[in-house]
Amino acid sequence: MFPVQTNKTFIIPRKTVSLPAQPHMRELIVALKPARLQWAENGTLTSADYGDVYFQPQDAAGESRYVFLDGNNLPARFAALQDKTAFHVAELGFGTGLNFLLTAKAFKDHAPSNARLVYVSFEKHPVAIDDLARIHAHWPELATLAQNLQAQYPPMAEGMHHITIGNMRLILVFGDIADTLPQTQGMFDAWYLDGFAPAKNPGMWDGALFRHMALRTQPDGTAATFSAAGHVRRGLTAAGFTVQKTKGFGTKRDMTVATMPGTSKSTKTPGKATVLGAGLAGCAAARALAEKGIAVTVIDRQASFAMETSGNPLGVLYPKLTVDPSPMGAFHMHGFCRTLSFLKERAVEGWKQSGVSHLNLAAEDTERTQKLLQQDTYPENIAQYDEGRNALSQPTGGFLPPASLCAALLDHPHIKTQFNTSIDILPQGDDPIIIALGMGSMAFAETAWLPLESLRGQMTMIAATKESKELDTVICHDGYITPAVEGTHYIGATFQKEPPGTAGTRPEDDADNIARLQKHLPHLFPDTPRILSSRAGYRVTTPDKLPIIGRAPNYAACIDVFADLRKGQNVTADVPVHDNVYISTGFGSHGLSGTLIAGDIIAALMTGDALPVPNTLMPHLAPERFILRGLKRGKI
């Protein structure tokens, strides 16, 4: 057995561990109002909402460098970074993205080539993509970085959105700072306070903001702001910063810089890691680790990657939306946006952003769709009503071969593969191990307790007809059909709760897929469709339908530590975990939308980077949730 450690990931700053309550997540999935911009004849850009200036073209870049980069002494700090270390910047007020672009350029110019930049930026009213392109044209020296940013710019939905540019990760946190900053977990080396002026936007510059900043600042970390307002300096001081007023930019008399007392400790990422499983979950975890400079070996018993359920010829990608705020809705929305950002970053073979429409098959479906849209929860490119089909339409969804996504994920110089290899006992040592083996994740003594469930599914490939060739979007009913690809539609899929077995196909399952298709879309196939082939596989899910992502808890030690949960008592303790063992499994039929964000979560837990999802979501994904629930319900 692996030695026991304690998992403090989800217990900041308290140690109380009990069943996670439903977190308040509505603010993390609401459709946003984009920034309203006003351009003056001289090129000055102002906010119509706050009556304050974004920038004046003649000195915007110079002021940004002076206040934020020089105010935090970043060029020198970047140059002093050690190998494979990460520097973490937090920015309050993304605005036009100028600060990020300048910081990224300075990082490229001064930091070691194998160091990493993690830049987390908060914004309540994002600038629309068309406006962003016009704004960035003012700074041609930043054009390449700006084009990368624009290409991956996220939907106008609250939450944490990811953009990767080389060895730099931008996490755009859209939403009100009062809601989103407390949901952010991670420690930062430098802060940019670049919201609109305190007199124009007082809600951002309050004591709670500074206290949250202090909790998330490394010893010897810094902060800088253009503001020299007395209450800003007093707020930073009260939160624990050492504050000084210094000369402002140009004609501005003063600005503020601050330092958190203490001595920073440089932490390196692990040198090596092993991923067990070369399906979507394993490939995504390997990619996330490799992007942090970790040398990853992916091991699989099959002859290549994506040989089991991830080897389906096509899969449908869309966010699973919920009417009411829920961990399920929050996870799938964040996961979908993460996968979409990767597809924007790389040309993945076979990806078609066709849109996905979910037919309302009964009155209750129509009522649910109406409720979902009336709440103004999602932007139109995530959810809108398709009147012609009486369906919920998701324009940014689509379909792609999962194996193509696996191939793109594995295409990294830090990843090597080892196939035709089975692992029966987890190797001991200091290198992290990520278990991403579907139902096989239960094969080890450390993980045999996992409550995984197997669902068999069969998809059917049918020949296109004259009528069906006109279909240009994925249609979901109580199955699905893709647009024709080289004369073939992919339809499915069956759901049968049964233990894993041979993945042979069944004629009755093909007949079931076709019967459901003809029931709901008879006009596409006037005659019985011609079957070309079929494929079956076993999905892996969990009792609460959310995946299992995180450090592997020590089952026996957890039962001992949390025994009093059986008596209805609260327990204050850390979660005992197996040293260097992580799990990523249980994605059901949503591997395309869930596995990439899961890989990012694993990598963040391993390296101490900012978490890529709200911290209140983590207890709903953590493996130990089933142990805690079992104890509380008297089933363990």
pLDDT of 25 reads 39
> What is the per-residue pLDDT for 374?
87
Global pTM value? 0.91
Which residues, 6+ apart, have CB-to-CB distance to 388 below 8 Å?
none
- Collect all residues with Cβ–Cβ distance below 8 Å to 560 and sequence separation of at least 6: none
**Does residue 76 have a pLDDT over 60?**
yes
pLDDT grade for 30, boundaries at 50, 70 and 90: low
Asked if the structure places residue 630 within a domain, the reply is yes
Could you tell me if 213 and 304 lie in one domain?
A: no
Which helix H or strand E contains 597, and what residues bound it? helix 591-607
Sheet holding 242-247, edge to edge: 159-165, 168-174, 116-123, 86-92, 188-193, 217-225, 254-259, 242-247
Same domain, 112 and 203: yes
**Gap between the Cα atoms of 44 and 46, Å rounded:** 7
**Residue that is last in its domain, among 220, 253, 285:** 220
Q: How many residues belong to the chain?
A: 636
Please give the Cα distance from 428 to 5 (Å, whole number).
14
Q: 339: closest CA among 380, 397, 416, 411?
A: 397
Candidates 343, 289, 280; CA nearest to 307 is 280
Based on the fold, state whether residues 286 and 408 are members of the same structural domain: yes
Number of C-beta neighbours around residue 15 at 10 A: 13
Residue 23: band (very low, low, confident or very high) from pLDDT cuts 50, 70, 90:
very low
pLDDT of residue 605: 95
Q: What share of the chain is helix, strand, coil (3-state, %, to 5)?
A: 30, 25, 45
Segment 414-434 mean pLDDT: 94
Tell me how far apart the 2 most distant CA atoms of the chain are, in Å: 79
Rounded distance, CA 181 to CA 90, Å? Answer: 10
Using CA atoms in the order 117, 549, 438, 603, what is the torsion angle rounded to 10 degrees? 20
In the predicted model, is pLDDT for residue 12 greater than 70? no
* The pLDDT of residue 46 is above 80: no
Q: How many C-beta atoms surround the C-beta of residue 599 within 10 A? A: 30
Residue partners of 464: CB distance under 8 A and separation at least 6: 484, 487, 488, 489
Kindly state whether residue 210 falls inside one of the protein's structural domains. yes
- Averaged pLDDT for residues 481-508: 92
- pLDDT score of 50: 64
Q: In this predicted model, what pLDDT tens digit does every residue of 146-185 receive, in sequence order? A: 999 999 999 888 899 999 999 999 999 999 888 899 999 9
DSSP state of 25: -
- Whether residues 52 and 155 share a domain: the answer is yes
Counts for the chain of helices (H) and strands (E), in that order:
16, 31
Both 188 and 312 in a single domain? no
What pLDDT does 558 receive? 97
Assess if residue 612 is contained within a domain: yes
With a CB cutoff of 8 Å and minimum separation 6, the contacts of 607 are 86, 267, 269, 270, 292
Q: Is 462 domain-assigned?
A: no
| Count of Cβ atoms closer than 10 Å to residue 367 Cβ | 12
Calculate what percentage of the chain has a pLDDT beyond 70.
90
Q: Are 206 and 113 found together in one domain?
A: yes
Using the predicted structure, report yes or no on whether residue 34 has a pLDDT greater than 80: no
Q: Find the domain containing 603 and state its range.
A: 270-351+399-452+542-636
Q: Is residue 154 part of a domain?
A: yes
Question: What average pLDDT does range 505-517 have in this prediction?
Answer: 96
**Tokens for 159?**
């939450």
Confidence of residue 15 (pLDDT cuts 50, 70, 90): very low
Average pLDDT in the chain? 90
- What is the DSSP pairing of strand 188-193 with strand 86-92? parallel
Question: How far apart (Å, rounded) are the C-alpha atoms in residues 597 and 629?
Answer: 25
Residue 268 tokens read as 């390196």
For residue 7, the model assigns a pLDDT of: 43
Pair of tokens at residue 524: 């596409």
pLDDT tens digit sequence for 182-200: 999 999 999 999 865 566 5
The rounded distance, in Å, linking the Cα atoms of 534 and 460 is: 4
- Among the listed residues 433, 442, 443, the one whose alpha carbon sits nearest the alpha carbon of residue 298: 433
CATH number of the domain residue 607 falls in: 3.50.50.60
Amino acid at 94: F
Q: Rg of the chain's alpha carbons, rounded to an integer? A: 25
Bridge pairing between strands 315-317 and 37-39:
unpaired
Residue 134 has pLDDT above 90, yes or no: no
DSSP state of 125: S
If pLDDT is split at 50, 70 and 90, which confidence band does 28 have? very low
Any domain includes 67: yes
- Euclidean distance between CA atoms 26 and 616, whole angstroms: 12
Nearest-angstrom CA–CA distance, 256 and 193: 10
Q: How are beta strands 45-47 and 53-55 bridged, if at all?
A: antiparallel
pLDDT for position 505: 94
Which domain CATH number covers 121? 3.40.50.150
**Residue 297 and residue 213 share a domain:** no
If DSSP states are collapsed to H, E and C, what string results for 463-532?
Answer: ECCCCHHHCCCEEECCCEECCCECCEEEEECCCEECCCCCCCCCHHHHHHHHHHHHHHCHHHCCCCCCEE
Between CA 545 and CA 543 the distance in angstroms is 6
Nearest to 318 by CA among 330, 335, 306, 304: 335
Using CA atoms of 42, 45, 51, 52 in order, give the dihedral in degrees to the nearest 10: -100
For residue 623, pLDDT beyond 90:
yes
Euclidean distance between the first and the last CA atom of the chain, given in angstroms as a whole number:
21
Q: What is the mean pLDDT of residues 548-562?
A: 97
Query: What is the reported pLDDT for 502?
Result: 76
* Cα–Cα distance measured from residue 581 to residue 21, given in angstroms and rounded to the nearest whole number: 26
Q: How far from 59 is each of 54, 63, 104, 312, 527, CA to CA, in Å?
A: 11, 6, 19, 54, 68
User: Is 325 in the same domain as 197?
Assistant: no
Task: Tell me: pLDDT of 21 over 80.
Answer: no
Report the C-alpha gap between 493 and 508 in whole angstroms: 12
Separation between Cα atoms, residue 454 and residue 626, nearest integer Å: 17
- Lowest-confidence region among 35-44, 63-72, 440-449, 515-524: 35-44
Q: What is the pLDDT of residue 633?
A: 95
**Do 568 and 630 sit in the same domain of this protein?**
yes
The enclosing H or E element of 62 equals: helix 60-64
pLDDT digits (tens, 9 = 90+) for 576-600: 999 999 999 999 999 999 999 999 9
User: Which structure tokens are listed for 495?
Assistant: 């759901």
Considering the domain boundaries, does residue 563 fall inside one?
yes
Rounded Cα–Cα distance for residues 636 and 631 (Å): 5
What is the model's pLDDT at position 196?
56
Is 49 within a domain? yes
pLDDT given for residue 318 in this prediction? 97
Domain count, the chain: 2
SS3 sequence, 78-121? HHCCCCCCEEEEEEECCCCCHHHHHHHHHHHHHCCCCCEEEEEE
| 192 shares its domain with 281 | no
Residue recorded with tokens 């041979």: 502
Whether residue 298 sits in one domain with residue 435 = yes
Instruction: Tell me how far apart the alpha carbons of residues 569 and 632 are, in angstroms, rounded to a whole number.
Output: 9
> Which of 260, 246, 254 has the alpha carbon at shortest distance from 213?
260
Strands 272-276 and 295-299: parallel
φ, ψ for residue 99, nearest 5 deg: -60, -40
Q: Which residues of 311-329 are buried (b: 16+ CB within 10 A; e: fewer)?
A: bbbbbbbbbbbbbebbbbb
pLDDT at 52 over 80: no
What H or E segment, with its residue span, contains residue 453? strand 453-463
Q: Are residues 311 and 173 in the same domain?
A: no
Of the candidates 220, 254, 289, which is a domain's last residue? 220
Average pLDDT over residues 449-457: 96
- What tens digit of pLDDT does each residue of 257-295 get? 999 998 877 666 789 999 999 999 999 999 999 999 999
User: Tens of pLDDT along 290-347?
Assistant: 999 999 999 999 999 999 989 999 999 999 999 888 999 999 999 999 999 999 999 8
